[in-house]
Amino acid sequence: MCSCVRVCASFLIHSLFRTCFCDLCSNVQLKDDLCEVVSEMETLDSGEDGGKNSNKAKMMSIGRKKFNMDPKKGIEYLIEKGLLQHTAESVAQFLHKGEGLNKTAIGDYLGEKNDFNEQVLQAFVELHDFKDLILVEALRQFLWSFRLPGEAQKIDRMMECFAKRYCECQGDNKFFENSDTCYVLSFAIIMLNTSLHNPSVKEKPSIEQFINMNRGINQGQDLPRQLLESLYNNIKAEPFKIPEDDGNDLMHTFFNPDKEGWLWKQGGRYKSWKRRWFILNDNCLYYFEYTTDKEPRGIIPLENISIRECTDRQKQYCFELYASGGADFIKACKTDSEGKVVEGKHTVYRMSASSDEERKEWIQRLTQSISHNPFYDMLASRKRKAQLYAKN
C-alpha cells in the first residue's frame, strides 16, 4: 500500500477515535467534569494541605488535564481561573515549559489557524534559543518540544516560523541567504532521517546524493560542502527523536512509490523507438541508456502531467504522458548527442511496455506519483523560491 494512504488511514482512525471518545462521554460537559474529579482526587492523594496555594495547584492540574484532552478548552480554563494571562506570551511560556502536557496536544494547539494561536506559535518559537547551534541540533530541540501535526499547511507554518527564528538567532554568523534556504534544508534533513533510518526505505542515500539534492538552494548558490557533510553525519549517527513517536513517521508521505524497468520510448522529433531504462523516483521520471549509467539521458518532472493508455501502429502496450493544464510542451530535459543538457521538445512522451500488466503497473505508479501530494507541492514551491538567483 502506498505510504501516503497508510498515513491518511491513520489520521482517519485517529480522528474517528476522537469523536467516538466524545460520543462515549455523551457530552463535553461530562468529559470536563470527569476530568475535574480525577484531578481533585489526585490532588487529595498527594496530601497537599489546604489554602490558596494548593487550590491554585489543583486548578493548574485540572487545566493541564483539560488541555491534554482538548487544548483549546484547557487554555480557556486556565485563563478564566487567572492562572494564565490572555496573552500569546503567557500561553507560549506555559506550552514551552510543557510540564505535564501531552506533546501531541501542544502540536495541535500551535498548529491551529487563527490569529491568537498563530501569535502563540510565534511567541513559542521565540522562546527557543538557537544561537550557536548547527541546524540539525536546533531542529532536534524544536521538534522535541511538541509533536508536529500531520497536515501540510500546519507543518508549513510551523517550519516557516522555525526557519525564520533560526536565521534570526545566527546574527551575522550565517550560512543562509534567507529563511527559505533554511526551510528547504530543514526538510531535506527530516527526509534524510527517514531515508537513513526507516527500514522500509531500501535505498540509503549517500553523502553525495544528499549534497546533490541540495544544489542551488542558497539563492542559486550551493551551501558549503562542509556544512552539508556535518548535517549528514550528524543524522546518520543519531536519528531524530520525535515525541509520541508511534512509528508512523509523517515524513513518509514524501516518499512516493518507486519503480524501475525497461520501456520503449518514442523520440520527440524523430518518431523512432529506443529502449531505455526508466526510474521513477521522487516525483521525477528518469531514463538511462544502460542500467549502469550514472547520468540519465533525460529527466521528466511529473508536474502538470497526465497519463493515459494509447495505441500505436508499431508498438503494443503503449501509454503516454502529456502536458495537462493547457501547456504545449512537457517541461523536461535531456542530454543531446554532444552531451549538452537541453530542453525536451515533447508534446507527449509515448512509451511501450513489455506486457499489459507492465503497462498497468507503470500507469498506476506514475499516477500515484503525479497525484496531488500536498507535502510535495508545498516543498517544491519553497525549493523553487530558495533556488532563485538573487536579483541584482
Q: Is 338 a catalytic residue?
A: no
CA-closest candidate to residue 242, choices 234, 254, 250? 250
Nearer to ligand NAG, 197 or 315 (CB): 197
* Assigned C-alpha cell, 291: 542500467
CA-closest candidate to residue 244, choices 1, 5, 14, 2? 14
For residue 347, the SS3 value is coil
User: Smallest distance from the beta carbon of 242 to ligand NAG, in angstroms?
Assistant: 4
Name residue 124's amino acid. Answer: F
User: Smallest distance from the beta carbon of 110 to ligand NAG, in angstroms?
Assistant: 14
DSSP state of 106: H
User: Smallest distance from the beta carbon of 201 to ligand NAG, in angstroms?
Assistant: 8
Instruction: Give yes or no for a contact between 222 and 216, defined as CB atoms under 8 angstroms apart.
Output: yes
CB atoms within 10 A of CB 115: 8
Residues that bind ligand NAG (CB under 6 A): 102, 104, 143, 190, 193-194, 197-198, 239-240, 242, 244-245, 249, 251, 303-304, 325, 331
Instruction: Give yes or no for a contact between 317 and 353, defined as CB atoms under 8 angstroms apart.
Output: yes
User: Smallest distance from the beta carbon of 311 to ligand NAG, in angstroms?
Assistant: 28
Element (H, E) at 319: strand 318-323
User: Smallest distance from the beta carbon of 111 to ligand NAG, in angstroms?
Assistant: 14
Apex 58 CA angle, 57 and 60, nearest 5: 65
User: Smallest distance from the beta carbon of 196 to ligand NAG, in angstroms?
Assistant: 8
Instruction: Give yes or no for a contact between 325 and 305, defined as CB atoms under 8 angstroms apart.
Output: no
Our measurement of the distance from residue 389's CA atom to the centroid of its chain's CA atoms, rounded to an integer in Å, reads 25
**What are the contacts of 169-176 at 24+ separation with CB within 8 A?**
169/129, 169/130, 169/131, 169/133, 169/138, 170/130, 170/131, 171/131, 175/218, 175/223, 175/224, 175/227, 176/218, 176/223
Q: How far is CA 248 from CA 5, 109, 150, 161, in A?
A: 12, 21, 11, 24
89, 151, 168, 260: which is the annotated catalytic residue? 151
User: Smallest distance from the beta carbon of 221 to ligand NAG, in angstroms?
Assistant: 22
Strand order of the sheet with strand 284-288? 305-310, 318-323, 348-352, 259-266, 273-281, 284-288, 298-301, 333-335, 341-343
User: Smallest distance from the beta carbon of 141 to ligand NAG, in angstroms?
Assistant: 12
Nearer to ligand NAG, 198 or 306 (CB): 198
* Separation of alpha carbons 16 and 10, rounded Å: 10
Q: Which residues pair with 273 in a beta bridge?
A: 266
Annotated catalytic sites, by residue? Answer: 151
